[in-house]
Chains A and B, each alone.
Chain A
Amino acid sequence: MASMRDIKRRRGSIQSTQQITKAMKLVSTVKLQRARESAEKTKNYFDCMYDTVNSILARVGQLEHPYLTARTSERKAVVVITSNRGLAGGYNSNAVKLVTRKEDWKKEDVEIYAIGSKGRDALARYGYEIKEDLSFIAEEPVYADAMALCDRLLQSYRKGEIGEIYLAYTFFRNTVVHEPTLLKLLPVEQMAPETGREAQAPMNFEISDEEALELIIPKYVASLIYGALVESVASENGARMQAMDNATSNAEEMIDDLTLLYNRARQSSITQELTEIIAGAEAIS
Chain B
Amino acid sequence: MAAGRNFTLRIITPERIFYEGVAEMVEFNTTEGEIGVLPGHIPMTVILMPGVLTIHEAEEEKWAALHAGFAEILPDQVTILAEIVEWPQEINRTRAEAAKQRAQERLARREPGLDTARAEVALRKAIARIQVLR
Q: Is there an interface contact between A143 and B13, defined as CB atoms closer than 8 Å?
A: yes
Q: Is there an interface contact between B72 and A216, defined as CB atoms closer than 8 Å?
A: no
Q: Which residues of chain A are within 8 angstroms of B3 by Cβ–Cβ distance?
A: none
Q: Is A235 an interface residue (CB 8 A)?
A: no
From A86-94, A159-167, A218-226, A267-275, give the one contacting chain B. A218-226
Q: Which residues of chain B are within 8 angstroms of A222 by Cβ–Cβ distance?
A: 83
Evaluate whether A143 and B83 lie within 8 angstroms (CB atoms) in the complex, with A41-B17, A48-B72 already known.
yes
Q: Is there an interface contact between B14 and A45, defined as CB atoms closer than 8 Å?
A: yes
Q: Is there an interface contact between A45 and B31, defined as CB atoms closer than 8 Å?
A: no
| Residue on B nearest A206 in the bound complex, by CB | B32
Measured between alpha carbons, how far is A44 from B11 in the docked complex, in Å? 11
Measured between alpha carbons, how far is A46 from B32 in the docked complex, in Å? 25
**How close is A107's CB to chain B, nearest CB, in angstroms?**
33
Q: Is there an interface contact between B44 and A203, defined as CB atoms closer than 8 Å?
A: yes
- Residues of B in contact, count (CB < 8 Å): 24
Q: Which residues of chain B are within 8 angstroms of A42 by Cβ–Cβ distance?
A: 14-15
Q: Is there an interface contact between A201 and B47, defined as CB atoms closer than 8 Å?
A: no
Measured between alpha carbons, how far is A42 from B46 in the docked complex, in Å? 21
Task: Map CB proximity to A onto B69-87 as digits: 1 under 8 Å, 0 otherwise.
Answer: 1101010000101011000
| Residue on B nearest A226 in the bound complex, by CB | B14
A-B pair count, CB < 8 Å, reads: 73
- Residues of A in contact, count (CB < 8 Å): 31
Q: Which residues of chain A are within 8 angstroms of B44 by Cβ–Cβ distance?
A: 203-206
Q: Is B114 an interface residue (CB 8 A)?
A: no
Q: Which of B13, B32, B42, B68 contacts A204 (CB 8 A)?
A: B42
Q: Is A215 an interface residue (CB 8 A)?
A: yes
Q: Is B43 an interface residue (CB 8 A)?
A: yes
Evaluate whether A205 and B83 lie within 8 angstroms (CB atoms) in the complex, with A42-B14, A52-B70 already known.
no
**How close is B117's CB to chain A, nearest CB, in angstroms?**
12
Task: Map CB proximity to A onto B38-69 as digits: 1 under 8 Å, 0 otherwise.
Answer: 00001111110000000000000000000011
Q: Is A70 an interface residue (CB 8 A)?
A: no
Q: Which residues of chain A are within 8 angstroms of B72 by Cβ–Cβ distance?
A: 48, 52, 203
Measured between alpha carbons, how far is A207 from B47 in the docked complex, in Å? 9
**How close is A209's CB to chain B, nearest CB, in angstroms?**
10
Q: Which residues of chain A are within 8 angstroms of B81 by Cβ–Cβ distance?
A: 45, 48-49, 52, 219
Known: A204-B42, A207-B31. 10 other contacts (CB 8 A): A52-B81, A142-B15, A143-B13, A203-B43, A204-B45, A206-B31, A219-B68, A219-B81, A222-B83, A227-B14
Give A contacts to B, CB under 8 Å.
38, 41-42, 44-46, 48-49, 52, 56, 142-144, 146-147, 200-207, 212, 215-216, 219, 222-223, 226-227
Could you write out 25 A-B pairs with CB less than 8 Å apart?
Answer: A42-B15, A45-B81, A48-B72, A48-B81, A52-B70, A52-B72, A56-B45, A143-B15, A143-B84, A144-B84, A146-B14, A201-B42, A201-B74, A202-B43, A204-B45, A205-B44, A206-B30, A206-B31, A206-B32, A206-B46, A207-B31, A212-B47, A215-B70, A219-B70, A227-B14
Give B contacts to A, CB under 8 Å.
12-17, 30-32, 42-47, 68-70, 72, 74, 79, 81, 83-84
A-B pairs with lowest CB-CB distance, top 8: A143-B14, A204-B44, A201-B43, A206-B32, A215-B47, A45-B12, A45-B14, A226-B14
